[in-house]
Amino acid sequence: MTTNLELTLEHGYNIRSYEPRMDGHVSIASLCNQLQDIASRHADSLGFGFHDLEESGHFWILARLHIMVNRLPRFGERTSIRTWPSGNERLVALRDFLIHDADGLIGQATTSWVTMNKQTHRPDKPDQVLNRRFIPDREHAIVFPTKSVTRLKQGDYTADLTARRADIDINGHVNNVKHVELCFEAVPPEWADDHRCRGLDIQFRAEAFAGDKLRAACALSEPDADMDTMLHSLTRVSDDKEIVRMRSWWRKA
Protein backbone atom coordinates (compact mmCIF):
# COMPACT_ATOMS: atom_id res chain seq x y z
CA MET A 1 0.00 0.00 0.00
CA THR A 2 1.25 3.46 -0.89
CA THR A 3 0.14 6.45 1.15
CA ASN A 4 0.81 10.11 0.48
CA LEU A 5 0.09 12.64 3.24
CA GLU A 6 1.11 16.23 2.53
CA LEU A 7 4.78 16.05 1.53
CA THR A 8 5.41 12.54 2.85
CA LEU A 9 5.26 9.27 0.93
CA GLU A 10 5.36 5.76 2.38
CA HIS A 11 5.81 2.66 0.24
CA GLY A 12 6.50 -1.03 0.88
CA TYR A 13 9.09 -3.28 -0.76
CA ASN A 14 9.34 -7.07 -0.78
CA ILE A 15 12.84 -8.53 -0.58
CA ARG A 16 13.01 -10.56 -3.77
CA SER A 17 14.88 -13.78 -4.43
CA TYR A 18 17.63 -12.15 -6.52
CA GLU A 19 18.58 -9.56 -3.87
CA PRO A 20 20.10 -11.44 -0.89
CA ARG A 21 23.73 -12.40 -0.54
CA MET A 22 24.81 -15.94 0.30
CA ASP A 23 24.00 -15.39 3.98
CA GLY A 24 20.37 -14.59 3.12
CA HIS A 25 20.61 -10.86 3.90
CA VAL A 26 20.44 -8.09 1.32
CA SER A 27 23.39 -5.78 0.87
CA ILE A 28 23.12 -2.12 1.78
CA ALA A 29 23.15 -1.38 -1.97
CA SER A 30 19.74 -3.09 -2.26
CA LEU A 31 18.33 -0.65 0.29
CA CYS A 32 19.89 2.21 -1.68
CA ASN A 33 17.93 1.00 -4.71
CA GLN A 34 14.74 1.21 -2.67
CA LEU A 35 15.60 4.77 -1.63
CA GLN A 36 16.21 5.69 -5.25
CA ASP A 37 12.88 4.20 -6.29
CA ILE A 38 10.73 5.89 -3.66
CA ALA A 39 12.47 9.24 -4.23
CA SER A 40 11.54 9.00 -7.92
CA ARG A 41 7.96 7.98 -7.12
CA HIS A 42 7.51 10.88 -4.73
CA ALA A 43 9.04 13.46 -7.05
CA ASP A 44 6.66 12.28 -9.79
CA SER A 45 3.63 12.64 -7.52
CA LEU A 46 4.70 16.13 -6.43
CA GLY A 47 5.16 17.35 -9.99
CA PHE A 48 8.95 17.54 -10.19
CA GLY A 49 9.86 14.05 -11.37
CA PHE A 50 11.99 12.98 -14.33
CA HIS A 51 9.51 13.98 -17.04
CA ASP A 52 8.66 17.28 -15.34
CA LEU A 53 12.31 18.32 -15.21
CA GLU A 54 12.86 17.06 -18.75
CA GLU A 55 10.40 19.69 -20.00
CA SER A 56 12.61 22.46 -18.60
CA GLY A 57 15.84 20.87 -19.83
CA HIS A 58 16.98 19.53 -16.47
CA PHE A 59 17.49 16.22 -14.70
CA TRP A 60 18.07 15.14 -11.11
CA ILE A 61 21.54 14.03 -10.01
CA LEU A 62 22.21 12.57 -6.59
CA ALA A 63 25.06 14.56 -5.04
CA ARG A 64 25.42 12.80 -1.69
CA LEU A 65 23.85 9.93 0.25
CA HIS A 66 24.26 9.00 3.91
CA ILE A 67 22.51 5.85 5.14
CA MET A 68 22.85 3.93 8.41
CA VAL A 69 21.05 0.68 9.24
CA ASN A 70 21.01 -1.48 12.36
CA ARG A 71 19.99 -4.65 10.51
CA LEU A 72 19.81 -5.87 6.92
CA PRO A 73 16.55 -7.56 5.84
CA ARG A 74 16.41 -11.16 4.65
CA PHE A 75 14.77 -12.85 1.68
CA GLY A 76 10.99 -12.98 2.13
CA GLU A 77 10.86 -9.98 4.46
CA ARG A 78 9.34 -6.63 3.64
CA THR A 79 10.53 -3.09 4.22
CA SER A 80 8.45 0.06 4.46
CA ILE A 81 10.15 3.33 3.59
CA ARG A 82 8.92 6.82 4.40
CA THR A 83 10.39 9.81 2.59
CA TRP A 84 9.94 13.56 2.46
CA PRO A 85 11.69 16.57 0.87
CA SER A 86 13.39 18.39 3.73
CA GLY A 87 14.31 21.73 2.17
CA ASN A 88 16.71 23.43 -0.22
CA GLU A 89 20.23 24.66 0.51
CA ARG A 90 21.78 26.84 -2.19
CA LEU A 91 22.34 24.48 -5.14
CA VAL A 92 20.97 21.29 -3.58
CA ALA A 93 17.56 19.91 -2.67
CA LEU A 94 17.41 17.70 0.42
CA ARG A 95 15.41 14.51 0.95
CA ASP A 96 15.23 12.19 3.97
CA PHE A 97 14.13 8.61 4.62
CA LEU A 98 13.11 6.26 7.43
CA ILE A 99 13.35 2.50 6.82
CA HIS A 100 11.16 0.05 8.76
CA ASP A 101 10.68 -3.70 8.85
CA ALA A 102 7.88 -5.63 10.55
CA ASP A 103 9.42 -4.98 13.98
CA GLY A 104 10.13 -1.27 13.66
CA LEU A 105 12.77 1.22 12.57
CA ILE A 106 15.91 -0.31 11.06
CA GLY A 107 17.52 2.60 9.24
CA GLN A 108 17.70 6.28 8.37
CA ALA A 109 19.06 8.15 5.38
CA THR A 110 19.52 11.67 4.10
CA THR A 111 20.37 12.82 0.59
CA SER A 112 21.22 15.94 -1.38
CA TRP A 113 20.31 16.36 -5.06
CA VAL A 114 21.13 18.87 -7.79
CA THR A 115 18.96 19.91 -10.72
CA MET A 116 21.41 19.65 -13.61
CA ASN A 117 20.98 21.80 -16.72
CA LYS A 118 21.23 19.56 -19.80
CA GLN A 119 22.71 22.31 -21.98
CA THR A 120 25.28 23.83 -19.64
CA HIS A 121 25.83 20.61 -17.66
CA ARG A 122 25.91 22.76 -14.56
CA PRO A 123 23.44 22.78 -11.68
CA ASP A 124 20.71 25.40 -11.50
CA LYS A 125 19.13 26.38 -8.19
CA PRO A 126 16.34 23.92 -7.32
CA ASP A 127 13.86 26.62 -6.31
CA GLN A 128 14.21 28.21 -9.76
CA VAL A 129 13.91 24.91 -11.64
CA LEU A 130 10.88 23.94 -9.56
CA ASN A 131 9.18 27.26 -10.36
CA ARG A 132 9.93 28.52 -6.86
CA ARG A 133 7.69 25.81 -5.42
CA PHE A 134 7.78 26.10 -1.64
CA ILE A 135 9.51 23.15 0.02
CA PRO A 136 9.52 23.74 3.78
CA ASP A 137 12.56 22.96 5.90
CA ARG A 138 11.72 19.79 7.80
CA GLU A 139 13.41 17.59 10.36
CA HIS A 140 16.15 15.32 9.05
CA ALA A 141 16.07 11.58 9.67
CA ILE A 142 19.86 11.70 10.05
CA VAL A 143 22.48 14.35 9.32
CA PHE A 144 25.62 14.16 7.21
CA PRO A 145 28.44 13.31 9.65
CA THR A 146 30.95 15.75 8.13
CA LYS A 147 30.94 18.74 5.80
CA SER A 148 32.36 16.50 3.07
CA VAL A 149 33.52 12.91 2.84
CA THR A 150 37.20 12.48 3.69
CA ARG A 151 39.32 11.83 0.61
CA LEU A 152 41.21 8.54 0.43
CA LYS A 153 44.84 9.49 -0.15
CA GLN A 154 46.29 6.02 -0.61
CA GLY A 155 44.35 2.80 -1.07
CA ASP A 156 45.57 -0.44 0.49
CA TYR A 157 43.36 -2.49 -1.83
CA THR A 158 42.45 -1.77 -5.45
CA ALA A 159 40.38 -3.23 -8.27
CA ASP A 160 40.49 -2.26 -11.94
CA LEU A 161 37.03 -2.21 -13.51
CA THR A 162 35.17 -1.22 -16.66
CA ALA A 163 31.80 0.53 -16.54
CA ARG A 164 29.29 -1.64 -18.40
CA ARG A 165 26.34 -0.68 -20.55
CA ALA A 166 24.22 -2.47 -17.94
CA ASP A 167 25.40 0.10 -15.35
CA ILE A 168 23.93 3.06 -17.27
CA ASP A 169 20.66 4.67 -16.19
CA ILE A 170 18.04 6.84 -17.87
CA ASN A 171 20.33 9.89 -17.67
CA GLY A 172 23.01 8.17 -19.74
CA HIS A 173 25.63 7.77 -17.01
CA VAL A 174 26.56 5.12 -14.44
CA ASN A 175 23.75 4.88 -11.89
CA ASN A 176 24.47 6.01 -8.33
CA VAL A 177 23.86 2.59 -6.75
CA LYS A 178 26.19 1.00 -9.31
CA HIS A 179 28.89 3.36 -8.00
CA VAL A 180 28.39 1.89 -4.52
CA GLU A 181 28.76 -1.63 -5.91
CA LEU A 182 31.86 -0.65 -7.91
CA CYS A 183 33.50 0.79 -4.78
CA PHE A 184 32.85 -2.48 -2.94
CA GLU A 185 34.78 -4.42 -5.61
CA ALA A 186 38.04 -3.27 -3.97
CA VAL A 187 37.06 -4.62 -0.53
CA PRO A 188 39.08 -7.80 0.16
CA PRO A 189 36.90 -10.95 -0.07
CA GLU A 190 38.02 -12.18 3.35
CA TRP A 191 36.80 -8.90 4.88
CA ALA A 192 33.51 -8.90 2.98
CA ASP A 193 32.86 -12.53 3.98
CA ASP A 194 33.34 -11.72 7.67
CA HIS A 195 31.65 -8.30 7.89
CA ARG A 196 28.44 -6.57 6.88
CA CYS A 197 28.29 -2.96 5.72
CA ARG A 198 25.89 -1.04 7.97
CA GLY A 199 26.40 2.48 6.69
CA LEU A 200 27.54 4.66 3.81
CA ASP A 201 28.39 8.29 3.22
CA ILE A 202 29.04 8.76 -0.48
CA GLN A 203 29.67 11.87 -2.57
CA PHE A 204 29.20 11.73 -6.33
CA ARG A 205 31.79 14.10 -7.79
CA ALA A 206 31.74 13.37 -11.54
CA GLU A 207 29.90 11.24 -14.06
CA ALA A 208 31.14 7.93 -15.45
CA PHE A 209 30.02 6.38 -18.72
CA ALA A 210 29.89 2.98 -20.39
CA GLY A 211 33.36 1.81 -21.35
CA ASP A 212 35.19 4.00 -18.83
CA LYS A 213 38.15 2.27 -17.22
CA LEU A 214 37.81 2.79 -13.48
CA ARG A 215 39.94 2.06 -10.44
CA ALA A 216 38.29 1.36 -7.10
CA ALA A 217 40.44 1.68 -3.98
CA CYS A 218 39.85 1.39 -0.24
CA ALA A 219 41.63 1.36 3.10
CA LEU A 220 40.64 0.89 6.72
CA SER A 221 40.06 4.13 8.62
CA GLU A 222 39.41 5.17 12.22
CA PRO A 223 36.61 3.28 14.04
CA ASP A 224 33.39 5.22 14.58
CA ALA A 225 30.27 4.47 16.64
CA ASP A 226 31.76 1.12 17.72
CA MET A 227 32.13 0.08 14.08
CA ASP A 228 35.05 -0.37 11.73
CA THR A 229 35.15 2.11 8.87
CA MET A 230 36.71 2.26 5.43
CA LEU A 231 37.49 5.07 3.03
CA HIS A 232 36.87 4.45 -0.67
CA SER A 233 37.60 6.14 -3.96
CA LEU A 234 36.55 5.51 -7.54
CA THR A 235 38.60 7.22 -10.24
CA ARG A 236 38.66 7.19 -14.03
CA VAL A 237 42.00 5.86 -15.23
CA SER A 238 42.25 7.93 -18.43
CA ASP A 239 42.25 11.34 -16.71
CA ASP A 240 42.59 10.41 -13.00
CA LYS A 241 39.21 12.07 -12.42
CA GLU A 242 37.69 11.40 -9.01
CA ILE A 243 34.22 9.97 -9.66
CA VAL A 244 33.20 8.95 -6.14
CA ARG A 245 34.41 9.53 -2.60
CA MET A 246 32.90 7.22 0.03
CA ARG A 247 33.11 6.17 3.67
CA SER A 248 31.57 2.91 4.90
CA TRP A 249 30.74 1.46 8.34
CA TRP A 250 31.05 -2.28 9.08
CA ARG A 251 30.18 -4.80 11.78
CA LYS A 252 31.28 -8.40 12.18
CA ALA A 253 28.81 -10.79 10.57
Q: For position 92, what pLDDT does the model report?
A: 93
Q: Residue by residue, what is the 3-state secondary structure of 161-216?
A: EECCHHHECCCCCECHHHHHHHHHCCCCHHHHHHEEEEEEEEEECCCCCCCCEEEE
Q: Are residues 36 and 138 in the same domain?
A: yes
Q: For position 90, what pLDDT does the model report?
A: 84
CA angle 134, 140, 142 (to 5 degrees): 150
Indicate the residue among 144, 171, 203 that finishes a domain.
144
Q: For position 135, what pLDDT does the model report?
A: 73
Q: Are residues 58 and 68 in the same domain?
A: yes
Exposed e or buried b per residue across 174-184, where buried means at least 16 C-beta atoms within 10 angstroms of its C-beta:
bbbbbbbbbbb
Q: Are residues 123 and 162 in the same domain?
A: no
Domain count, the chain: 2
- Domain span including residue 217: 145-253
SS3 40: helix
Q: Are residues 176 and 79 in the same domain?
A: no
CB 88 within 8 A of CB 135: yes
> Is the pTM value of this prediction over 0.75?
yes
Beta bridge partners of 216: 159, 234
Q: For position 71, what pLDDT does the model report?
A: 96
Residue 135 belongs to domain with CATH number: 3.10.129.10
Q: For position 2, what pLDDT does the model report?
A: 47
What are the 10-residue block averages of pLDDT along the chain, 253 residues in total?
A: 68 96 94 97 90 91 97 96 92 96 98 94 86 76 96 97 97 96 98 96 97 98 96 98 98 94
CB 187 within 8 A of CB 157: yes
